[in-house]
A and B are shown apart, each in its own frame.
Chain A
Amino acid sequence: GAVVSQHPSWVICKSGTSVKIECRSLDFQATTMFWYRQFPKQSLMLMATSNEGSKATYEQGVEKDKFLINHASLTLSTLTVTSAHPEDSSFYICSARVFRSEAYEQYFGPGTRLTVT
């Protein structure tokens, strides 16, 4: 199978601090990783797409200076929420994509619950 892990699974931080979330593909190499944000009882909204070794592509309305994405290797992408505020509280889900069996397959991590107090 293909497993994507996220760490931490939940985090509480104070307003003004920064939080880093890690996303790892455990048994495959992912050339592309995606970061989504999900508000309570709502759908997933794509924040950014990152390709290994290059800058992330952010969706319209997502502040790239606030949500820093680093895709340092084919198995690791990180999302850093800088100077977090209560409105950044959300469920963040990463996804990793790999090309196999002549098609792209996308696998999702278990998510990280961020609460900013």
Chain B
Amino acid sequence: AQSVTQLGSHVSVSEGALVLLRCNYSSSVPPYLFWYVQYPNQGLQLLLKYTSAATLVKGINDFEAEFKKSETSFHLTKPSAHMSDAAEYFCAVRAYSGAGSYQLTFGKGTKLSVIP
């Protein structure tokens, strides 16, 4: 079964500092991996996804993530944090659920706070 683990339920960074949100996955097959952002009382917005092409994936708002098979990781980074980046971030893996169907399995989320 596929799963993801997000290390750190809460991360605080200063405005302008590097953002690093960690995600490790477990999968018996080559995974498709995703990062989503959720602002308060809103749905999920896709930041980026890895679908077995380039290992370094660039997403919206200057976020990027690198797929490292040897470390089973897909950490999310951003060079310089903005106040508007404060939100909840979810890592997800696409899992096969049988009968030709797939579903997303989410990590527990990491809340990012940005300190002015």
Contact = CB atoms under 8 A, between A and B. Distances in A.
Answer whether A and B are interacting partners: yes
Given A44-B44, A104-B102, A49 B90 contact: no
Contacts, number: 42
Interface stretch (B14-22, B55-63, B68-76, B104-112): B104-112
B103 interface: yes
Contacts of A104: 102
Interface of A: 4, 6, 32, 34, 41-44, 46, 49, 91, 93, 95, 103-104, 106, 108-111, 113
Contacts of A111: 41-43
Interface of B: 36, 41-45, 51, 90, 97, 101-109, 111
B106 A32 contact: no
A43 B80 CA distance: 26
B22 to A, nearest CB: 15
B43 A108 contact: yes
A93 B101 contact: no
Contacts of A93: 43-44
B103 A109 contact: no
Contacts of B104: 34, 46, 95, 106
Nearest to A36: B106
Contacts of B102: 104
A43 B43 contact: no
A104 B97 CA distance: 14
Given A109-B43, A111-B42, A44 B101 contact: no
Contact of B107 (A43, A95, A108, A109): A43
B35 to A, nearest CB: 13
Contacts of A103: 51
A113 B109 contact: no
Given A43-B109, A49-B97, A103-B51, A110 B103 contact: no
Contacts of A46: 103-105
Contact of A32 (B42, B101, B105, B111): B101
A52 to B, nearest CB: 14
B44 A43 contact: no
A29 B4 CA distance: 29
